[in-house]
Structure 1
Amino acid sequence: MGNSGVNSSWRERQAHLREVMAEAKTLEREPAARWVTVVFGAATALWIVVVVWLALTLPDEVPIHWSSGGVPDGWASKTGALAFSILVPLATIFPLVFLSRLVLAAPDTLNSPHKEWWIAEPHRLIRCERLLREDLMVIVALTVVLLTTVDVLIGYAAHQPGGVVPSWWFTILLVAYVLALVGYTTWMYASARYRPTKPVPPTGK
């Protein structure tokens, strides 16, 4: 008897979730906040500018990996270095933004504070997708800036004797990236960003 009640409750929840998903897919997606779009666009523009700079200035042989002392222990051709600078962000970083779509396709996979509240209504689900998309855009922007800075380091090292660079550069880059990432994710979960609020108005109203 008890199991029957649990199964019935679970089936009702899944049926309701399917209804929420179906209606949410008919609604317009909310646009990302302007400041997020600016941050994401600026990081992307910076990456493009640096890639163009590398294409115009790199020599035929380029250092791409260094020992702890800043002495290069790995080299690549200009084509290989450019391929790395272009393909890594395009294939592994920028696509992360599209993970927010999973909120609409599989709400149960959502991992955010107050999950049950967000997936209970179509308009809440749309709002949650937008919040996650914005967060992913910021995280992607931070990662793209990190990779772009590494590209700048490669371009700098390519014109130094023996390709040697100051060893402290790597530590500073990594620490700055980790601090920025931890700071933003802490704000995501500690602020009122995902806290249940008054009813979310329909999209476009």
Structure 2
Amino acid sequence: MSRASWSLLPAIAVYAITWCWVAVSAPDRVPMHWGPAGVDRWGSRTEFLTFSLVTAGLIGALMIGLGIAASRLPASIINTPHRDYWLSPEHRPAFDGLMRTMMLDIAALILLLFAAINVIVGAGAAATNVLVIVFLLALGVVMVRPIARLYREPPRSSR
């Protein structure tokens, strides 16, 4: 199992736990949309749970699919820093692995974002600020390493 799938599996578990928690503990009427002035649309718990599950599932599946398809992309449509280095035959497998890792990490972050939304709906607006900060920190931790690797200067002997 790849390192990327290890970030995705806990995210799926966290999302499933928060989704089940909302299903059994949220009130019948929950916030569905927030605007600058606060909640501007309310809906039923069932509507929220359905929307959350379908949306998180579709976006997560799209990111996973993009990660799996990374190695099948023709070089002609790829725009990346240090293109000649990353798309050369000897470095293309590493580039494909990096893209796969990034897409699976993004899928994990999307699931964690939806889990945070579940907690906000289940616990009320009091949890909002803390969850936004935690999510942004997780985003930084998960994405900094692969992006830094992609943008750093390739070794001179490999150019």
TM-score w.r.t. the length of structure 2 is 0.76
Q: 1:172 to 1:68 in 2, by over 3 A?
A: farther
Q: How does 1:131-170 map to 2 (within 5 A)?
A: 131-157=98-124, 165-166=125-126, 169-170=127-128
2:7 touches 2:105 (CA, 8 Å); kept in 1?
yes
Matched-pair contact (CA < 8 Å) for 2:30–2:45: yes
Q: 2: distance between equivalents of 1:42 and 1:51?
A: 14
The percentage of counterpart residues that share the same residue type is 23
Deviation at 1:194, TM superposition (A): 7.0
Larger Rg: 1
Cα offset for 1:148? Answer: 0.3
> 1:80: how far off?
0.7
Where does structure 2 lack aligned partners over 5 or more consecutive residues? Answer: none
Match of 1:181 among 109, 118, 139: 139
Correspondence for 2:86: 118
Give runs of aligned pairs for residues 37-52 of structure 1, distance below 5 A.
37-52=5-20
Instruction: Tell me what 2:45 maps to.
Output: 78
- The superposition leaves residues 159-180 of structure 1 with CA deviations (integer Å, 9 ceiling, x where unpaired) of xxxxxx32xx434333433343
Deviation per CA, 1:57-84: give whole Å up to 9, x if none: 3343222334667x64321112211112
RMSD: 3.0
Comparing both structures, which one devotes a greater share of its residues to helix?
A: 2
Structure 1: 5+ residue runs without aligned partners?
A: 1-30, 158-164, 200-205
TM-score by length of 1: 0.61
Q: Name the counterpart of 1:92.
A: 59
Q: Which string of whole-angstrom CA distances, capped at 9 and with x for unpartnered residues, describes residues 181-204 of structure 1?
A: 3454443233479765799xxxxx
Mapped partners of 2:44, 2:87: distance in 1 = 50
